[in-house]
Amino acid sequence: MLQVFSGLAEVPPFAEYPVPARRVRALANGTTIQVIPDATWMYVAPHEVPSWAKTYGWTPFSTPTNCIAVGRRHLTKSRSAILYLDILHEFFHILQRDAGRELWDLSQGYVDSPTELEAYRFSVKEARRLGVPDSYLRSYLKVEWVGAKDHLRLLKNLGVQPPR
C-alpha cells in the first residue's frame, strides 16, 4: 500500500490511527492494492464473498490477504482529495479487521454500521483538518448505495451539516 500511495506514512493522520504505530506500519506494508476493472470505488477486499453480495448483484474481488480493491476509473478519474480520504477510510477498515472486527455485517444498515461510522469519522476529521467545507463532505459522503434519507442520517451521525 505504501508503495502505491507514496508519502502516506508521512501525513498527520497516519500517526493518529488508534493502533500502535509499529502495527500500523506493519499492516500498511503488508496491505496490497488491487486495481480492478469494475466501475466501483474503493473497498477492503473481503476474505470471502459476503453471503448477501449476490442478492445485491455485487461480485467483489476477494482474497485471503489484506488488500484494498480500487476501481480503475476511480483511480484515474477521481480527484486526489477523494482518493486520499478513501484510502484513509479503507485502511481504517484494515485495522478494524486486524482487531477482529467484522467489516461486512450490514445488519444495522450501512449508515449505522459501527465500522463504517468509525472509518468515516476518521476521514472526515482529516478533511476538516485540511479545511474541507461541509458542502464538499456532503458530496463525498453521497454514495449510490445510500438513499437520500440514509444520507441525511449519515451526515448527522458524522456531524456534517445537511444541505439547506
Residues 103-159 pLDDT 10s: 988 788 888 899 999 999 999 999 999 999 999 999 999 988 888 999 999 999 999
Q: State the average pLDDT over residues 27-39.
A: 92
CA 160 to chain CA centroid, nearest Å: 17
User: Please, which pLDDT band fits residue 38 given cuts at 50, 70 and 90?
Assistant: confident
- Residue 57 pLDDT: 82
Residues 52-100 pLDDT 10s: 888 888 888 899 999 999 999 999 999 999 999 999 999 999 999 999 9
User: Please, which pLDDT band fits residue 21 given cuts at 50, 70 and 90?
Assistant: very high
Spatial distance between the Cα atoms of 118 and 114, rounded to a whole number of angstroms: 6
pTM: 0.93
Choose among 70, 62, 76: nearest CA to 89. Answer: 70
Choose among 88, 112, 110: nearest CA to 18. Answer: 88
- Residue 94 pLDDT: 98
